Amino acid sequence: MGAYVALIGRGYVGVMYDIATDHASALIAALITPVFGFGFVLGLRFLASRGITWAVRVMQAYGATPSITKLAAALMLLSGGLHLALVPGHAGITGVLFIVDGLGFIGLGIAAFFTSWWRRPAVLWLVATIVAYIVWVVAGWETPDQVGIACKLIELVALGLLMRLANPTRRSWPRRAWRATAFPLMACVTTLGIWVGGLAHPDALHAHAGALLQPVADVATPEQQVAAARLLADTRANIARYQDPAAAIAAGFKPGPVSSADPLRHFQNAANANVILDPNRPQALVYAQTTHGLQLIGAMFQMARAGQWGPDPGGPLTQWHQHEGICFSPFGFEFTFETPFWTCPVGSTSITTPPMLHVWIIDNGKNGPFAADLDKTVQRQLTGRS
Amino acid sequence: MNQPGSINNGASDIASVLVVVQASFSLVAGLSALPFAIVEPGFRVLAVVTILMAAAMFWLARNLRRGRRWAWRWLVTLEVLSLAMTAVLSLLPIGSIRGPVPLLVNLVIPLSVLVLLAVASSNRPSRPRAAELT
């Protein structure tokens, strides 16, 4: 975990498709494996220069290998190293499969320099590994995280290189069409598989796709229950004066953009940007677009920086959340979700918002007064839309 | 078939594979925006532009493999733009680049493609001078 925290710097609080703790060792392996490989080649070169026969042969085979094969082999060796590094964190059948997979990749990576038959088994091995990962993720036996996704990225690139190495003897149009579409299809299936797995089995800290929750204790103490009730009462009392949106605008709250996708509107006050959880000065007011006009339904407190969790007087009852993995459109309040490979549609921007805490002053159904989202049933009753 | 002023070697082969990887990811991003485009008009435009962009990248990768110099120029331009966008976004406090996957996809792959394109260009056999032809 330390390597990852060092990689992304200060203010780390978790991220969509986070790094699983038992996968952190693979990051070390990812750094060590290329250094080890480079040192190994240097050592062989030194031995060959001394006239050691087997080292000379190995270096001749290495030198005669095309660069595209060398890269494909290096990526398979890297993937093999990563799989072996992941073994200690995976018990049972998954651990055994990681050993088999890792050794297979290393064997095929070495075979690339000395054999002519290695390409087809390597393609099968890569496809089987990627498909197995998708099955594991969709079944919920593995949580998609950045180590797993990075590993699939490495394997997809290796697969692309191997498919480029193919030398088709028959050039009929179905074969040409298959050759042109097979790799993009594999990349699409991999992305969708990881997505489906992540959405179907979110971990405890993901409220929904795009929202990461503050880590908190499981149960609220009696003091925290009292503090949460006080926060709700204070917020309700203090923002009551903004029932009329005109009063909010007069007080400095600016209406957010109207969205056809979202019937809730946030009125933000930039003057309160650096205030921390003050019921009298929330960062935003939330209105619902009802058939009778805008109805005040809550307040939103927000911290100044992404990754800076706010105070949670109610413990697990007042859990902050931040939105990430979201692609915002330049055309207004519109968004889609970022793919697991961190890509957004052209023109949109991936954004992580600073942590926020909603306080719903209306009855928010089973979600409760501090939930990240308005309860869907309540929203439908208020706005006629879900 | 290579044309005069064309490029074709191992580096451009590898670069074309990486461009196909990038194009595939763009294609998924474009396709995945389509469901949102039902209610978000802005994303109708962006989704279509992204899918067209992905198609263009597949086409550029194909022509890079065939040694077309213009494909090389277009790809250099696209990758430089992509890197510039990544640099700007990583400087803004909006948390765009967080973790190894965004680093690999948005920084390492475009940078690798640029380096490979530079190598492919430098490996290109120089044209014979007029004096050498006579």
User: Tell me: the pLDDT tens digits for B113-128?
Assistant: 999 999 988 776 555 5
Residues in a beta bridge with A206: A212
CB atoms within 10 A of CB A51: 8
Tokens read off for A260 = 């056809």
Give the model's confidence band at B9: pLDDT under 50 very low, under 70 low, under 90 confident, else very high.
Answer: low
Three-state DSSP class for residue A345: coil
Distance between CA atoms of A240 and A383, rounded to whole angstroms? 20
The model's pLDDT over A46-91, given as tens digits with 9 standing for 90+, comes to 999 998 999 999 999 998 999 999 999 999 999 999 999 999 888 8
Least Cα distance to A332 among A270, A266, A256 occurs for A256
What is the torsional sign of CA A144, A148, A149, A155?
negative
Q: Vertex A215, ends A209 and A217: CA angle to 5°?
A: 130
Q: What is the DSSP string of B105-120?
A: IIIIHHHHHHHHHHHH
Q: State whether B33 and A188 contact (CB < 8 Å).
A: no
Q: Which residues contact A283 (CB under 8 A, 6 or more apart)?
A: A268, A269, A272, A273, A275, A300, A301, A302, A356
Residues of A in contact with B14 (CB under 8 A): 67-68, 71, 161
Residue indicated by tokens 């026969």: A53
Task: Give the number of A-B residue pairs with CB atoms closer than 8 Å.
Answer: 166
Which chain A residue has its CA at the smallest distance from B49's CA?
Answer: A346
The interface pTM score, or ipTM, of the predicted complex is 0.85
- Least confident window among A5-14, A114-123, A169-178, A216-225: A5-14
Q: For A155, which residue in chain B has the nearest alpha carbon?
A: B21
How much is the pLDDT for A170? 67
- Distance, CA of A289 to CA of B21 (rounded, Å): 43
pTM for this predicted structure: 0.81
Q: Do B98 and A15 touch (CB under 8 A)?
A: yes
**pLDDT at position A1 over 70:** no
Quick one: pLDDT at residue B114?
Answer: 96
Nearest Cβ partner for A157 among B17, B94, B95: B17
Chain A touched by B112 (CB under 8 Å): no
* Average pLDDT of the residues in B4-18: 75
Cβ neighbors of B62 (< 8 A, separation 6 or more) are B16
CB proximity list for A331: less than 8 A, separation 6 or greater: B41, B42, B45, B46
Q: Is B14 on the interface with A (CB under 8 A)?
A: yes
Phi, psi (rounded to 5 degrees) for A278: -110, 110
Residues of chain A positioned with their CB less than 8 A from the CB of B123: none
Secondary structure letter of residue B128 according to DSSP: P
**List of E strands, A102-253:** 206-208, 211-213
% of chain A with per-residue pLDDT over 90: 48
Mean per-residue pLDDT for B56-73?
A: 93
Find residue A294's DSSP bridge partners. Answer: A289
A247-301 pLDDT, tens digit each: 999 999 999 877 766 788 999 999 998 899 999 999 999 999 888 889 999 999 9
Q: Name the average pLDDT for chain A.
A: 86
Best mutation site among B24, B31, B53 for testing chain A: the one with the most A CBs within 10 Å? B24
| Token pair belonging to A217 | 């204790």
> Counting runs of H as helices and runs of E as strands, what totals does chain B give?
6, 0
A381-384 contacts: CB < 8 A, separation 24 or more? A382/A263, A382/A288, A382/A290, A382/A295, A382/A297, A383/A263, A383/A264, A383/A288, A383/A289, A383/A290, A384/A263, A384/A290, A384/A291
Q: What is the pLDDT of residue A253?
A: 95
Task: Name the residue among A273, A303, A300 with its Cα closest to residue A285.
Answer: A300
Provide the pairing of β-strand A326-328 with A349-351: antiparallel
Neighboring chain A residues of B100 at a CB cutoff of 8 Å: 4, 7, 27, 30, 146-147, 150
Question: In this predicted structure, what is the pLDDT of residue A295?
Answer: 94
CB contact under 8 A, B95 and A351: yes
Residues of B in contact with A349 (CB under 8 A): 89, 94, 96
DSSP 8-class letter at A273: T
Best CA proximity match to A147, nearest among A106, A98, A196: A98
* Rounded alpha-carbon distances, angstroms, from residue B131 to B5, B124, B125, B126, B128: 18, 20, 17, 14, 8
3-state secondary structure of A94: helix
Burial A110-130 (b: 16+ CB within 10 A, else e): bbbbeeeebbeebbebbeebb
If one counts every other C-beta atom within 10 angstroms of the C-beta of residue A291, the result is 8
> pLDDT tens across A18-56, in order?
667 778 788 888 888 889 989 999 999 999 999 899 999
Q: Is the pLDDT of residue B26 over 60?
A: yes
Q: Do A324 and B98 touch (CB under 8 A)?
A: yes
Output the pLDDT for position A206.
58
Closest CA to A295 of A263, A268, A272: A263
The predicted structure's pLDDT at residue A14: 46
C-alpha span between A105 and A99 (Å, rounded): 10
Query: Is pLDDT of A140 > 50?
Result: yes
Cβ-count burial of A131 within 10 angstroms (0-12 exposed, 13-18 middle, 19+ buried)? middle
Identify the residue whose tokens are 């409760």. Answer: A368
Would you state the torsion angle of the CA atoms of residues A109, A111, A114, A116, taken in this order, to the nearest 10 degrees?
-110
Residues 36-95 of B with CB under 8 A from A: 36, 39-43, 45-47, 49-50, 53, 58, 89, 93-95
In angstroms, the separation between the Cα of residue B22 and the nearest Cα of chain A is: 9
pLDDT per position as a tens digit, A195-222:
888 777 766 565 555 677 887 888 889 9
CA–CA dist A121, A135 (Å, integer): 21
Residue with tokens 């190293």: A81
Q: How confident is the model at residue A331 (pLDDT cuts 50, 70, 90)?
A: confident
* Residues in chain B within 8 Å Cβ distance of A351: 94-96
Q: What pLDDT does A164 receive?
A: 87
More confident residue, A130 or A380: A130
pLDDT at site B129 = 52
| Nearest CA-CA distance, residue B113 and chain A, Å | 13
Q: Residue A172 pLDDT > 50, yes or no?
A: yes
Q: For tokens 């962006």, what's the residue? A: B46
Please list every residue in chain A whose beta carbon sits closer than 8 Å to the beta carbon of residue B45.
331, 347
Contact A157, B13 (CB under 8 A): no
